[in-house]
Amino acid sequence: MKKILSVFTLACLLLLSSGAFAQSPVDIRINEVQVSNVTGAQDENGDRCGWVELFNTAFGMVDVAGFYLTDDKANPTKYMIPKGNTATQVPLRKYFILYADGQPRKGVFHMNFTLDGVKNLYLYSTDGETLLDEIEIPELGPDQSFGRYFDGEGKHEPVNWSKKSARKSAVDAKVAEDGGFSILDHPTPGSTNVTSKVETKSEKMKAMDPWGGILAVTAMGVVFLCLIILYLIFRSIGKRAIRKQEEEKAAKSAPATAAKAAAIPSDGTINEEIIAAIAIACHLYQGGVDSGIHDVESNVLTFNQDLLRNSPWGARTLTIKQDPRI
């Protein structure tokens, strides 16, 4: 019964863990939209129209096939992103463009509605019920777009996704005051919304710590912290181990003393048979460290039988995987 319970628990844990780490639709965001495209990007036919850019915030591929976009919350399945096309597999930190020209027959990724006059745009998961993201589109001039300052970051109206990752919630919280969105004068379909120069960590560090003193002190502090914690843990484990060893030694010493007393005659001389046995044992193992039978690494002299080396046919029964101990 115990074994069945253990296997069941293990299976449940495996199932749960696989679900927890799978890439999921909640990683997809509406990143940028353009309503009036006069001189901007063209579709595959060379025509200009509004567009919607999705962004994969995950660090793994997410397939957006079967996701729904709508401008009407009452009709969440208004437009479905077509299935059966490998282009819907959005790689990590990449973009996916849909053309909002209201002409779905014009190409695979042409939506069946335009963004003209649209106030809100909603993104639903493949079930057509789970709201993944929504944005409120302000009045936009020709060739202007509306999107996030930083790709994938910013305020999210739907909160049900936030169960997924506390980190993302924290990122969003930083820009919650203005929502992290802006009207962009330079639309960037299919590429990052960040068009201004971004200061790298290295540049920031140079400005903050030109001589390296702050980093040195911080980093050495962290190295010491890690190793001090390990020291404290293993000092405590070591103390327990020593205590246990002493207890075991004490428990063993009582019968051993009795046996020793029985083996050694009352006059103090050792039996010749015992001497012969010790001599034979030493002879058998006189190969020393070079013979490979002693484990010298842990400072404990051991006499291990080297089964693998001495067994016939490479001892398959010894090298194949044994049944797990449950």
- Burial of 68: CB neighbours in 10 Å, binned 0-12, 13-18, 19+: buried
Q: Which of residues 240-279 bind other proteins (CB under 8 A)?
A: 241-242, 245
Judged by CB under 8 A, does residue 237 bind other proteins?
Answer: yes
For the CA atoms of 231, 235, 236, 238, the dihedral, rounded to the nearest 10 degrees, stands at: 140
Shortest spacing between CB 168 and other proteins, in angstroms: 16
Q: Which range, of 77-85, 165-173, 236-244, 273-281, touches other proteins by CB under 8 A?
A: 236-244
Phi-psi region of 104 (alpha: psi -120 to 50; beta: other; left: phi over 0): alpha
Closer of 225 and 275 to other proteins (Cβ)? 225
- Burial of 289: CB neighbours in 10 Å, binned 0-12, 13-18, 19+: exposed
Give the Cα separation of 99 and 91 in Å (integer).
19
Shortest spacing between CB 233 and other proteins, in angstroms: 6
Q: Which range, of 37-45, 74-82, 122-130, 198-206, touches other proteins by CB under 8 A?
A: 198-206
Collect contacts of 317-326 with beta carbons under 8 A, ≥24 apart.
Answer: 326/2, 326/3, 326/6, 326/7
With beta carbons less than 8 A apart as the criterion, state whether 34 and 40 touch. Answer: yes
Judged by CB under 8 A, does residue 300 bind other proteins?
Answer: yes
Judged by CB under 8 A, does residue 315 bind other proteins?
Answer: no
Shortest spacing between CB 324 and other proteins, in angstroms: 9
Q: Which range, of 15-23, 38-46, 182-190, 209-217, touches other proteins by CB under 8 A?
A: 209-217
Give the Cα separation of 34 and 53 in Å (integer).
9
Shortest spacing between CB 209 and other proteins, in angstroms: 8
Judged by CB under 8 A, does residue 212 bind other proteins?
Answer: yes
- Candidates 15, 92, 223, 259: give the one binding other proteins (CB under 8 A): 223
Closer of 176 and 229 to other proteins (Cβ)? 229
Give the Cα separation of 131 and 151 in Å (integer).
19
Radius of gyration of the chain (CA): 35
Judged by CB under 8 A, does residue 2 bind other proteins?
Answer: no
With beta carbons less than 8 A apart as the criterion, state whether 52 and 115 touch. Answer: yes
Judged by CB under 8 A, does residue 228 bind other proteins?
Answer: yes
Closer of 176 and 241 to other proteins (Cβ)? 241
Judged by CB under 8 A, does residue 230 bind other proteins?
Answer: yes
Collect contacts of 105-110 with beta carbons under 8 A, ≥24 apart.
Answer: 106/43, 106/45, 106/47, 107/43, 107/44, 107/45, 108/82, 109/81, 109/82, 110/43
Residue type, 140: L
Closer of 61 and 318 to other proteins (Cβ)? 318
- Candidates 202, 269, 305, 317: give the one binding other proteins (CB under 8 A): 202
Give the Cα separation of 48 and 115 in Å (integer).
13
Shortest spacing between CB 312 and other proteins, in angstroms: 19
Residue ranges that bind other proteins, judged by CB under 8 A: 200-203, 205-206, 209-213, 215-216, 218-220, 222-231, 233-235, 237-238, 241-242, 245, 297-300, 319, 322
